[in-house]
Chains A and B, each alone.
Chain A
Amino acid sequence: MTETPRETRVLDAVVSLVDSLLEDFDVVDLLTELTERCAELLDVDAAGFLLADPLDQLRLLAATTEQARELELFQLQADEGPCVDCYSTGQPVSVADLNDVTARWPRFVPAALDAGFASVHAVPVRAAGIVIGALGLFGSDSGELNDADRLVAQTLAHIACVAVLQERAPTPSTVLPQLRSALASRVIVEQAKGYLRETLDVSVDEAFKLLRSYCRANGEHLTDVARRLMTDRNARPVLVSAIGEFITPAT
């Protein structure tokens, strides 16, 4: 009997969660399912998803078990533990053996051991450049969270973040205008390629490369620069010249 490779199971989980995001979902329900998937995929016994409230306190949004829930709640009250550290540093936290960190978390560790957990890990949940919460994982065996596992946890944390921020599934009245906007953006980018082809005397492909290089170097959006090029006469000469600086001389 062959077991489905982990990669396939991870991708299945991702597809299923994103499907819900695009069709119809309830945020608490989806996040509960997400923590359950986490626990299965990462071979941990419990997972909890926490979000920061406006006063910077982490609050539990979803968890796999009552046990983890108690723990999370405990953690918040005591203001210590892996999720709290993860949230304040914005860095993943990984403890293979809780016995090693009693000094770090004097109240959390005994409670966690008592609840039957041996290892804990947490990954940050981020949006708009700020940390908005943490995904906590609890194992009854001791063990590291390796890089592959961390990647899986981070992926699921990202999806959880989108679910929270999106709030409601898309409807045709929101989707159609967004599609048109994306298509209009593409048209403008194509025009910009043609415009640069003519003014810089390069191929259309080269024009696209130059445009992207310019945007990356200046932290600008492709569509914004293309739109400026095509609609702002006054901006054109300077913009063309700046983009032209990215032409690499033929060797």
Chain B
Amino acid sequence: MSISERLIAAVDGRRGVDAADRLCEACVALFEVDAAAISLVFDGANTGTLGSSGQHARTCDELQFLLGEGPCLDSVTRRAPVLVVDLADPDDARWPIYGPAMLDLQVRGVFAMPVVVAGEYVGALDLFRAQPGRLEESQFTGAVAAAELAGIPLLDLLDGDLHAAAADPGSNAWAELHTLSRAEVSQATGMLVAQLEIEPAEALVRLRAHAYSTGRSATDVARDILDRKLRLESD
């Protein structure tokens, strides 16, 4: 299986935190890193570590929210990957508190790939390495692909109802990402922002939830919204 296929296999049929955790575990297996975590920097209630490959990963990741500095925060602000090859190298120093704290936890390399939901940079996939060293090209590309896939469990987590739902063996993350990136879906999202006075990520979550609960594709729901045949109710 290719890297993409293995990443997709990790999330398919799973939801929310479970999918996020499995994706992180796959990253550890595939990219020669020791820990991986997915975190969100979104509205206050949702900021924090959401999925991880294990306790060590969770600790490393959560620390940045406690300290107010770190890879996920930077990569979201910059809308770009943050690649730190060796935290012990004075030239690579960028976090005066988080950096030394990570060295204490035996982490030398940190790589964060931002996660995009509804066009917004809302979080990151954070990778941690005990040994210093660059990500190889295939590892970098794979990590970006993983960050792309992380959008789906993040959407799950932003929707309270789905979070509680049972795992759906039929769910297909790759196909869903494809559907959700269609122009009509984004346009309908924009309409929902106007109609319901909510933000774009929440609007996408609502659209997606409606599609799930009615057993229709997000594309069909989007078209109906655009044609004014469907109006979602505000809560």
- Which residues of A pack against B, CB within 8 Å? 172-173, 176-177, 180-181, 183-188, 190-199, 204, 230-231
- Asked whether, in the complex, the Cβ of B193 is within 8 Å of the Cβ of A181, the reply is no
Residue pair A187, B119 in contact (C-beta under 8 Å): yes
Interface pair B120/A193, CB less than 8 Å apart: no
User: Which of B81, B141, B144, B190 meets A197, CB within 8 Å?
Assistant: B190
Chain B residues positioned under 8 Å from A230 (CB to CB): 119, 190, 193, 200
The stretch from B13-21, B27-35, B66-74, B180-188 touching chain A is B180-188
Query: How many interface contacts (CB-CB < 8 Å) are there between A and B?
Result: 87
In the complex, A180 Cα to B181 Cα: how many Å?
12
Q: Give the complex CA separation of A145 and B79 in angstroms.
A: 46
Chain B residues with Cβ under 8 A from A198's Cβ? 190-191, 194-195
User: What is the interface residue range for chain B against chain A?
Assistant: 20 to 34
Contact B116 A191 (CB under 8 A): no
B226 at the binding interface (Cβ < 8 Å) = yes
A187 and B181 in contact, given A173-B140, A194-B186, A230-B119 (Cβ under 8 angstroms)? yes
Given A184-B116, A187-B119, A198-B195, the answer on whether A177 and B80 have CB atoms closer than 8 Å is yes
Closest residue on chain A to residue B180 by CB atoms: A187
Check if B79 sits within 8 Å of A181, measured CB to CB.
yes
Complex Cα spacing A75 to B229, Å: 72
Bound-complex Cα distance A23 to B148 (A): 25
Chain B residues engaging chain A, CB cutoff 8 angstroms: 79-81, 83, 114, 116, 118-121, 137, 140-141, 144, 148, 181, 183, 186-195, 199-200, 226
Shortest 9 CB-CB contacts between residues of A and residues of B: A194-B190, A187-B119, A190-B186, A194-B187, A191-B190, A195-B190, A198-B194, A188-B119, A194-B191
Cβ–Cβ < 8 Å partners of B140 in chain A: 172-173, 176
Give chain A residues whose Cβ lies under 8 Å from the Cβ of B141: 172, 176
Q: State whether B226 touches A191 (Cβ < 8 A).
A: no
Contact of A194 among B116, B144, B188 (CB under 8 A): B188
CA distance A229 to B165 in the complex (A): 33
Report the Cα distance A204→B191, complex, angstroms: 10
Interface centre among A172, A183, A194, A199 (most CB of B within 10 A): A194
Q: List 11 A-B contacts (CB under 8 A).
A: A173-B81, A183-B116, A184-B120, A186-B119, A187-B116, A191-B186, A191-B187, A195-B193, A197-B187, A197-B226, A198-B190
10 additional A-B residue pairs with CB within 8 Å, beyond A188-B186, A194-B188: A173-B140, A177-B81, A190-B189, A193-B190, A194-B186, A194-B193, A196-B190, A198-B190, A198-B191, A204-B226
A172 near B137 with CB under 8 A, answer: yes
Residue of A nearest to B204 (CB): A191
Choose from A173, A194, A196, A204 the contact partner of B189 (Cβ within 8 Å).
Answer: A194
Residue of B nearest to A173 (CB): B140
CA distance A177 to B141 in the complex (A): 10
Whether B119 and A194, one on each chain, are in contact in the complex, defined by CB atoms closer than 8 angstroms, is: no
